[in-house]
Amino acid sequence: MTIPRDTETRDRLLKVAERLFADRGFKRVTVRDICRAARANVAAVNYHFGDKLGLYREVLQSAIDAMRATNDAAREAGAGQTAEEQLRRYIAVFIRKLLGPGSDTVHKLVTREMNDPTPVLDALVEQAVRPRVDYLSGLIAEIIGCPPTDQRVLRCVASVQAQSIAYLPNPIATRLGLANTPTAANLADIAEHIAEFSLAGVHAVGRTVHAR
């Protein structure tokens, strides 16, 4: 089956834009840059996406969809388990997705958007980040016995997430020995460590809650 030429052009634009936006961010990439790299007419972005922001929305939506898929996989992995086990399984799924092959582009796009927000930020927060935070808040609140909106719960959520981010490959992590070539074994070891450390911290916070 022959793919229509317009579809081929659209797909090339998306692929090239994803790479350029991830490497430079939205503001430092021009329509001309994208079209040149995609071997497309300079009017192709407007034709297929309306404008540069429309193209960026589609690119970032693919990253949002990947994050939502991770959220869904984590929920499914923990279905029917205790809150502690659900947290363990969430961490295991998240680490595999975050540090496994093919995750670099998603993380770069999200980081660029966080550091230099565009009008697409709301979609990222509401569709991907907030559901993740709400899920973790619910689990941790159940473990320590206080409302999910309690600041102690939200700080625990931040601590769980921050531990995972520390293992992302970067020049500093490499020099410190934190960034390793991902394998099933070392990803499992990292996830287990983060789970043990997190649950110990969550229980310690819980003891302060009930001591008052």
Domain that residue 31 falls in: 1-50
The answer on 70 and 27 residing in a single domain is no
The answer on 134 and 30 residing in a single domain is no
Query: What is the token pair recorded at 2?
Result: 């022959």
Question: Do the domain assignments include residue 107?
Answer: yes
pTM: predicted TM-score of the whole model, two decimal places: 0.88
Question: Do the domain assignments include residue 171?
Answer: yes
Question: Do the domain assignments include residue 86?
Answer: yes
- Count: domains in the chain: 2
The answer on 110 and 13 residing in a single domain is no
What pLDDT does 153 receive?
A: 97
Q: State the pLDDT confidence band at 3, using cuts at 50, 70 and 90.
A: very low
The answer on 67 and 34 residing in a single domain is no
The answer on 166 and 124 residing in a single domain is yes
What pLDDT does 211 receive?
A: 65
The answer on 104 and 139 residing in a single domain is yes
What is the CATH number for 23?
Answer: 1.10.10.60
Question: Do the domain assignments include residue 56?
Answer: no
Torsion of CA 34, 35, 37, 39, to 10 degrees: 160
What pLDDT does 210 receive?
A: 67
The answer on 190 and 151 residing in a single domain is yes
Q: What percent of the chain has pLDDT over 70?
A: 96
Query: What is the token pair recorded at 139?
Result: 């689990």
- Where helices occur in the chain by DSSP H, the ranges are 5-24, 31-37, 44-49, 52-78, 83-99, 104-115, 121-124, 130-144, 151-165, 171-176, 184-211
Tokens 């020099």: give the residue. 175
Q: What is the pLDDT of residues 134-192, one digit of tens each?
A: 999 999 999 999 999 999 999 999 999 999 988 888 888 888 887 777 788 899 999 99
Query: What is the token pair recorded at 191?
Result: 């996830």
What pLDDT does 181 receive?
A: 74
The answer on 101 and 6 residing in a single domain is no
